[in-house]
């Protein structure tokens, strides 16, 4: 407490005189005040309608705006606005990222979306069934006779015509979903009237 009082005395004798009247005797003010807000007639008429001429207000008021390092306080406003905008951008980014990650497929689904099959292990003329995205897929290694039989029906009248070239990228390999077009059963390879695929559930016959 003593250090604070001494600091106040060193900075402003008039303020110390006001706060600690016991330290020095109070004398009556007989001089004139410097021109300021409290010396105007308008101030006396509206705000200070007394005969007090105490100079404490003029000596203890804050410095004028032109003497500040930032009179317009633009730096303060820029910092505040920048901080608010920055927090808003981060919050928006976290919300969008959370929504995207919520709808993003899981690691197990991504792992099942791609499979690798060694085609060299499939004998010529044979067909295997692999699983892709929980669905069966036919991979048929066709020989020349099977390719010729499939191409022989390209000009046949069908409800939904499609040539063999349109169904495959390489004639030697036939790859398609191993699902019956009737009710989704898995057909049997090499059976049926056309020796292609046969679905025993409802008797569906397929050539290729």
Cα three-residue angle 127-144-147, rounded to 5 degrees: 70
The answer to whether 182 and 199 have CB atoms below 8 angstroms apart is yes
Residue of 67, 101, 103, 202 marked catalytic: 202
Take residue 180 and report the two structure tokens written for it: 């019956």
Annotation says 67 is catalytic:
no
The pair of structure tokens assigned to 15 is 């303020």
Q: How far apart are CA 182 and CA 95, in angstroms?
A: 45
Count of beta carbons in the 10 Å neighbourhood of residue 207: 16
CA distance linking residue 190 with residue 127, whole number of Å: 9
| Distances, alpha carbon 16 to alpha carbons 5, 33, 118, in Å | 8, 19, 95
d(CA 188, CA 186): 7
Instruction: Write out the E strands in the chain.
Output: 127-132, 135-141, 173-177, 188-189, 197-199, 204-206
Q: Please give the Cα distance from 27 to 32 (Å, whole number).
A: 14
Tokens of 56: 């404490």
Q: Provide the annotated active-site residues.
A: 202
């Amino acid at each position: 407490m003593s250090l604070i009082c001494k600091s106040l005395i060193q900075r402003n004798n008039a303020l110390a005189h006001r706060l600690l009247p016991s330290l020095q005797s109070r004398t009556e003010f007989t001089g004139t005040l410097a021109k300021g807000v409290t010396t105007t007639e308008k101030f006396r008429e509206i705000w200070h309608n007394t005969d007090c001429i105490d100079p404490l207000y003029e000596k203890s008021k804050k410095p004028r705006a032109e003497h500040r390092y930032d009179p317009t306080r633009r730096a303060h406003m820029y910092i505040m606005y920048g901080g608010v905008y920055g927090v808003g951008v981060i919050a928006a980014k976290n919300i969008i990222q959370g929504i995207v990650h919520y709808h993003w497929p899981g690691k197990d689904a991504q792992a099942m979306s791609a499979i690798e099959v060694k085609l060299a292990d499939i004998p010529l003329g044979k067909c295997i069934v692999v699983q892709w995205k929980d669905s069966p897929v036919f991979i048929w290694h066709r020989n020349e006779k099977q390719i010729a039989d499939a191409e022989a029906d390209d000009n046949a009248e069908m409800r939904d015509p499609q040539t063999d070239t349109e169904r495959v990228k390489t004639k030697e390999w036939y790859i398609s979903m191993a699902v019956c077009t009737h009710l989704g059963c898995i057909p049997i390879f090499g059976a049926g009237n056309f020796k292609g695929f046969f679905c025993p559930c409802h008797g569906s016959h397929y050539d290729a």
